[in-house]
Chains A and B, each alone.
Chain A
């Protein structure tokens, strides 16, 4: 089930969007989100829609794949739109039993729906086109100024990249422990909610023990390889801006300006 979710997964392809500096993509996503909440007219959404569509085409992402990523938010989307539709006061268009539909309601439901769709689209385009490693690199660089107020930026990004490295290993281990416990008669599938939660204990305890052992081993191995925090560290693949990144920044500024000035 976990494997079916495409949000946050990298889609390998050779495109200009894939080659963009991850810092551009990160700030771009932020810019898109900010602009989404700045304007309040259909022209603004037209602008955003055009922008997102252009990026999807340039990134050579198959539309089917992108839409599949939207499936998990479908429920939330409907829920939000229905509430907005029914609970916004204003000029009444029609009413039935306790429900009333207003002109403002339709408007705000549509706007909220579009906002959510573009928000999720924007951030999933970022993760589709950027490897998790590059993304953590970008975050480390973008948040580097926070080091001045003693935020352990390097340590956080190291933690994220190590977590990403160990997710498949721990998933595999969970599977192994599950099978081992099932072979000894454990039942993970039957019974009510409480029983099932209780059944997880013999799975979680060995998983945690092993995760801690791994963490200890890894810390020792990192120390043996001269790891001593972010100080004086160099990079195999340092982030470097190219000409295309400058153009991308200009486009982003255009987007924000457009969002501010569109009526």
Chain B
């Protein structure tokens, strides 16, 4: 679905005369392959290059070196831009700055309008997208009257109305309260399960990675760890080195294990933890 082949991206800062002042490698020789239908989480602290990574999938940025392929299209091909963006929709961090229209349903229709979907078909898509994100009741409201979590769901509906194969979410929960965060993440998970849409979630909240099919950890433009969440979360020390915090239960279990208790190597949820403790008591 999404393929990165030795991709490097450089931000070049120039002084007033146009001489190169400094080169900042935001992506440094990244190669990876994301399978269709997967729920992939990319983790990384601030400045790890994860946003730059996201913008490459949507062809908002072009690699300095290497090749990015999205559902068969090379992102460097100018005339394929619309197809790429139709296939790989993107949700951004700030909910206010990505809603274009003053009425919810009109905003959801913005993408389909741009790619020239006929009106009748467009209504069907809008209705479906609103229903899937649970925003049907708000269709005629103004976005200013919604909470942050609801606005993000509208943004997701807007992407969904394009019938994408893949949705990239660039820190969609960073500006939300815990309730909004849950709303957004559970909506995305449902879309992945029910509609089979590939989800690439970029975040620094480790908790959101627990249910992922696959995880990548980024640091300073490199992919430094990859694997199933369980494999990654087991390496608490290494994650801390990349300024990431594991969920509290995982950390607690890790410390108890270190102190000599016989617990499994990686505990992801509170239920798992209580189960492990109970088993310990029985023995």
Chain A residues with a Cβ under 8 A of chain B: 132-133, 161-162, 164-165, 168-169, 214, 217-218, 220-228, 232-238
- Residues A225 and B97 in contact in the complex (CB < 8 Å), given A133-B103, A233-B116: no
Nearest Cβ distance between residue A242 and chain B, in whole angstroms?
A: 16
Least CB separation from A166: chain B residue: B96
19 sampled A-B residue pairs with Cβ under 8 A: A133-B101, A161-B101, A165-B99, A165-B143, A214-B94, A217-B97, A218-B100, A221-B92, A221-B100, A225-B111, A226-B111, A226-B162, A228-B82, A232-B115, A234-B116, A234-B117, A235-B119, A236-B106, A236-B126
B102 at the interface (CB under 8 A from A): yes
Q: Which one, B115, B119, B122, contacts A226 given CB within 8 A?
A: B115
Query: How many positions in chain B have a CB within 8 Å of any CB in the partner chain?
Result: 38
A238 vs B117: C-alpha distance in the bound complex, in angstroms?
Answer: 12
B247 at the interface (CB under 8 A from A): no
- A-B contact count, CB below 8 Å? 90
Contact A232 B98 (CB under 8 A): no
Q: Which residues on B sit within 8 Å (CB–CB) of A232?
A: 115-116
Contact A218 B60 (CB under 8 A): no
Instruction: Known pairs A214-B96, A225-B114; list 17 more (Cβ under 8 Å).
Output: A161-B101, A165-B99, A220-B92, A221-B90, A221-B92, A221-B100, A225-B85, A225-B110, A225-B158, A227-B114, A228-B114, A232-B115, A234-B113, A234-B117, A235-B113, A237-B106, A238-B119
Secondary structure class of chain B's binding surface, majority of residues: helix
Nearest Cβ distance between residue A237 and chain B, in whole angstroms?
A: 7
Contact A133 B122 (CB under 8 A): no
Contact B102 A133 (CB under 8 A): yes
Q: Which residues on B sit within 8 Å (CB–CB) of A221?
A: 90, 92, 97-98, 100
A224 vs B56: C-alpha distance in the bound complex, in angstroms?
Answer: 11
Q: Which residues on B sit within 8 Å (CB–CB) of A227?
A: 110, 114
Nearest first, the 3 A-B pairs at minimum CB distance are A221-B98, A217-B97, A236-B109
Q: Which residues on A sit within 8 Å (CB–CB) of B114?
A: 225-228, 233
In B54-112, the 8 Å CB interface with A consists of: 58, 60, 82, 85-86, 89-90, 92, 94, 96-103, 105-106, 109-112
Least CB separation from B117: chain A residue: A234
Q: Which residues on B sit within 8 Å (CB–CB) of A238?
A: 119
Least CB separation from A169: chain B residue: B96
Q: Which one, B90, B99, B122, B123, contacts A224 given CB within 8 A?
A: B90
B269 at the interface (CB under 8 A from A): no
